[in-house]
């Protein structure tokens, strides 16, 4: 199941990456607290779930990562696919449940975050295809 994967992201690193990206495109910075509020609101509206971006870390599943990427693109004018990929460390990638462990990496069921973003995360095969 695609949403069995949980990715841990440092909010401080995420906000820094966002502002670096905006500055690169000559857009003004946005302060962290405002980014956190805006992300919290947009996440709740788009996923019907609460994620507190004021915490040091957030844990997001596949679908939520897709939403995060979409929000950053639409509401912060920052396409962040590669930056988010870098933020997700392999050590912090947790796996929940056992269903995903047995599914081949080439499974047509692979409709999660990784496949939706077309190779978003380089460790995809390790995570989804190789049981521990």
Partner 1 sequence: MSATQNTPLHQEVITTGGHNIVGGLSRVYHCNHYNAYLQMAVLLTQGMNNHNPERLLTDSVTSLVRLLKQRGYTEHDLLHEFSYNGFGFLQQLDDNTWETPNSHYGESLCVHGKPQKSCYFTSGYLQGLLEKTVIETECKILGAKTDKFIVLDEPLNVEHYLTGEFGLQTVIPERFAFEGCQTFATGVNEEQIIASFKTLPLYGKYGAGESGLIEIFGAVLTNHFADYYNRISYETYFAMRDMGILDEDSKEMFIQAGHICAFNTFGRIMTSSQWYDVVAPQCVSREDWLHGMVAIINILGWGIYRIEKIVPETEFVVRVYNSYEGVGFRRIYSRLNDKNISFLAMGTALGLVHLLWKVDIRDKPALTPEFYVNQFNNPNNSYSVEQTHAIAAGDEYDRFIVSK
Question: Which H or E run contains 75?
Answer: helix 62-76
d(CA 37, CA 21): 19
CB within 8 A of 89, min separation 6: which ones?
8
Pairing of strands 5-10, 57-61: antiparallel
Q: Which of 20, 55, 59, 75 binds partner 1 (CB under 8 A)?
A: 75
Q: Which of 16, 38, 103, 116 binds partner 1 (CB under 8 A)?
A: 38
User: Tokens standing for 48?
Assistant: 């019907």
In this chain, which stretch among 5-13, 68-76, 102-110, 111-119 interacts with partner 1, using CB under 8 A?
68-76
Total of chain residues touching partner 1, rule CB under 8 A: 24
**Residue with smaller CB distance to partner 1, 74 or 89:** 74
Determine, following the binding rule CB under 8 A, whether residue 44 of this chain makes contact with partner 1. yes
In this chain, which stretch among 35-43, 91-99, 111-119, 121-129 interacts with partner 1, using CB under 8 A?
35-43
Neighbouring C-alpha atoms within 13 Å toward the C-beta of 79: 3
Q: Enumerate binding residues for partner 1 (CB under 8 A).
A: 28-34, 36-38, 40-42, 44-46, 48, 50, 52, 73-77
């Amino acid at each position: 199941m695609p949403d069995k994967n949980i990715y841990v992201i440092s909010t401080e690193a995420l906000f820094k990456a966002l502002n670096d990206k905006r500055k690169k495109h000559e857009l003004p910075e946005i302060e962290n607290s405002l980014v956190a509020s805006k992300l919290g609101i947009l996440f709740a509206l788009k996923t019907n779930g609460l994620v507190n971006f004021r915490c040091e870390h957030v844990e997001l599943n596949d679908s939520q990562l897709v939403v995060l990427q979409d929000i950053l693109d639409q509401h912060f004018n920052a396409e962040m696919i590669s930056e988010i990929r870098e933020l997700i460390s392999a050590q912090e990638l947790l796996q929940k449940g056992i269903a995903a462990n047995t599914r081949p990496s080439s499974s047509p069921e692979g409709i999660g975050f990784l496949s939706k973003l077309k190779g978003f995360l380089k460790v995809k095969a390790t995570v989804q295809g190789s049981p521990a």
